[in-house]
Structure formats: structure tokens, C-alpha cells
Chains A and B, each alone.
Chain A
Amino acid sequence: MTASRIAYALSGDPLGSVRISHFFAMSVFALLVSIALAGLTKRTAKERVKYAASCFVKFLVAAIAIGWLMYPFSR
């Protein structure tokens, strides 16, 4: 039940669901995966921060680029 309360507190929705923009969802995904990959592959804190930032930016750039590449086929 505590988890349900946390879900409600996080979302503000009685059903515990959140409404976020696609870009924000993608950014959260990119950030968390970048941090995990940096923690896995790099040794020092400085290296990890550098790698996570670089990976995060690459995720966003790649997603936006692929989005624009698919734009002509969206209609």
C-alpha cells in the first residue's frame, strides 16, 4: 500500500498514472540508461560523468535526427 501512496504522490492521479511529453519521457530514458552505462564501463567519477553526459547528448541527437528522418513518411 505504501507503493500505491508513492505512485499517487508522484503522479497526482488516483490511478497512479502520469502524463508526460514524449520528449521528456525520452530524456528520462536517455539519462537513466546513460548513467547506468557510465557506471558499468567507467572507473572514476570524473570519467563516469563525462561518459554519461556524452552518451546522453548522443541519445538525444540520434532520437531527434531519426525523428526528422521519419517525418516524410508520417503522413
Chain B
Amino acid sequence: MKCQAAHKKTTLNNSPLDDVSGVDLIDAASSPVGPQNVTSRRILALCIAIAAWIIPGLGHLALKRWGRALIFFACVGGLAITGYLLRGNVFPRRPGDLFDTLGFLADASTGIFYVLARFFERAGPDVSLAAGDYGTRFIAAAGIVNLLSVFDAYEIALGRRTM
């Protein structure tokens, strides 16, 4: 039973970075060669976070979390594409208006799907109907879900999160 539990833990945490925990990071920082390791790990984690932002799930894929990668790609993609098909509003970058800026940040968080908006929404947004308004929320929710995935991938890459 004990052996099975140990095996399960190994297969679930099969990332190459899982063997280093947050405590190890602190120890490494205080050792003579530690800070370099910590810096390189942070850079790697940052690269993984950027990858996770550009293509939802790619960060988890790089960390060999196949299940999560698939879940995040499917959910972010599903939400964003449904939002576009409902003709939701895609906020462009327009500095000055706080609500537009927040909308843009949420939409841009979908990464590659923000770029795909122009292909899926050829006729442009139509928020005169309730469906269009729903679509706007779908796209924003896709961005928020992807942001959560980015933070998750970053924390896993740093070794702060082992699950």
C-alpha cells in the first residue's frame, strides 16, 4: 500500500523540476552556488509563464503536466471561440478608458486566441443582442482562466506547487 502511494506520487509529479521544493530554493539561495541556480530557475519559470500565456496549456506541457495542459487548452479555447461565435466584444488596446483597458487585459490574456478573434469574428461584435453580451463575458472569462493557468505553471516551475 505504502509502495503504491509512493509510485502514485512519482507518476503524478513527474516533472523534472518537482524534486526541488520551495525550501530547497531558500537553501540554494544561501549556499555559495545557490543564487545562480535560483536565478536560472526564475528565468525558466518566467519563460514557462510566457509560453503558457501565448498558447494556453503550453506551460504545463513543458512541465509534462499533460492532463492540465489539455484541460486548459480546451477550456480557454472553448470559452474564447464560443465568445467569438456569439459575437462578443473584443476590446482593442485603447489607453484612457479604464474599463476598456481592463477589458483589453482580460481579452489579451487569452494569448493566441486574441489574435484569432479577427478570423472567428469576421462580422465584428454585436452587443445589441444578449448573446453578444454573453460572448463578451465568455472571452473575458477565457482570459481569466488562462491567467490562472499561467500563475499555476509559474508556481509549479518554481517548485512552490507540487500537485
Contacts and interface: CB of A to CB of B under 8 A. Distances in A.
A29 B141 contact: yes
Contacts of A4: 119-120, 122
A75 interface: no
B72 interface: yes
Nearest to B126: A17
A57 interface: no
B12 A7 contact: no
A1 B137 CA distance: 25
Contact of A40 (B119, B137, B152): B152
A46 interface: no
A69 to B, nearest CB: 19
B71 A20 contact: no
B120 A3 contact: yes
A22 B134 contact: yes
Interface residues of A, number: 28
Nearest to B69: A39
Given A11-B85, A39-B72, A1 B119 contact: yes
Contacts of B84: 7, 16
Contacts of A32: 74-75, 78-79, 82, 145
Contacts of B96: none
B127 interface: no
A65 interface: no
B20 interface: no
A35 interface: yes
A7 B163 contact: no
Nearest to A26: B134
Contact of B148 (A15, A40, A44): A40
A61 interface: no
Nearest to A25: B134
17 contacts: A4-B120, A15-B122, A16-B120, A16-B123, A17-B126, A18-B131, A25-B86, A29-B137, A29-B141, A32-B75, A32-B145, A35-B71, A36-B72, A39-B67, A39-B71, A40-B68, A45-B67
Interface of A: 1-4, 6-7, 10-11, 15-20, 22, 25, 28-29, 32-33, 35-36, 38-40, 43-45
